[in-house]
Amino acid sequence: MSRLILALDVYERERALEIAECTADYLWAIKVNWPLIIGSGLKIITELKQVTGLPIIADLKLADIPNTNRLIAKKVFEAGADYVIAHGFVGRDSVKAVMELGKTIIVVEMSHPGAKEFIQPVTDKLIEMANELGPFGVIAPATRPERVSYIRSKLKPGIKVITPGVGAQGGTASEVLKAGADYIIVGRAIYQSENPRESARRIFEEVEAWS
């Protein structure tokens, strides 16, 4: 089974479906974020599932009070999302509201430089929360493999480590897999390339070499 997740951050429905179809052979799942939901509507989740048969991760980074998190997550799971990404820093009650409805991924550290300002100082607390709640997985930064190793070492076995930041943000698949990532997330390096299928295939091969 592939360990590659496509971050399908385009606006247009047709383009999204085209890229998803031509890369599906090399993917484990497709991650849908706000740009695609704003551009194409929530029904794109249902369509992507129908066209590819792959799991869909709704990357909404929910960060609200429990009731609002619940209201949003309910509609997104009903649309067919298999996983929803939620922020942990808003507290256990908000995360639990999502977990009660379906499989959840908690952000414990982000991949951009600014993550060092506020998220990284509380990563240990977010790992503690993940260990207590037992979500499907956590988000950790492919741009900092040493942090992925650290997060993996503190996390209970069985909780998946999912890492964005490979490609456009400078992370490499082999480094982050070596550090202990279970899945890598790649967006621009695939959907902005001239041949998305070929780019997905190349990254898939790199991942396979480490599996």
Q: Find out whether 25 is annotated in a ligand binding site.
A: no
CA 62 – CA 11 distance, rounded (Å): 20
Query: Per CB under 6 A, which region of 12-20, 48-56, 89-97, 185-193 contacts ligand BMP?
Result: 185-193
Side chain identity at residue 110, one-letter code? M
Task: Tell me the torsion sign for CA atoms 135, 136, 139, 145.
Answer: positive
**Residue with smaller CB distance to ligand BMP, 43 or 188:** 188
Is 61 catalytic? The answer is yes
Q: Rule CB under 6 A: say whether 111 interacts with ligand BMP.
A: yes
**How many C-alpha atoms does 138 have within 13 Å on its Cβ side?**
35
Contact residue for ligand BMP among 2, 23, 33, 94 (CB under 6 A): 33
CA 173 – CA 208 distance, rounded (Å): 10
Q: Find out whether 133 is annotated in a ligand binding site.
A: no
Q: Whole-number minimum distance, CB 201 to ligand BMP, in Å?
A: 17
Contact residue for ligand BMP among 165, 179, 199, 200 (CB under 6 A): 165
CA 1 – CA 115 distance, rounded (Å): 31
Neighbours of 170 (CB within 10 A): 11
Query: Per CB under 6 A, which region of 47-55, 127-135, 145-153, 162-170 contacts ligand BMP?
Result: 162-170
Q: What is the C-alpha R_g of the chain?
A: 16
Q: Which residues bind ligand BMP (CB under 6 A)?
A: 7, 9, 33, 59, 110-111, 139, 141, 164-165, 167-169, 185-189
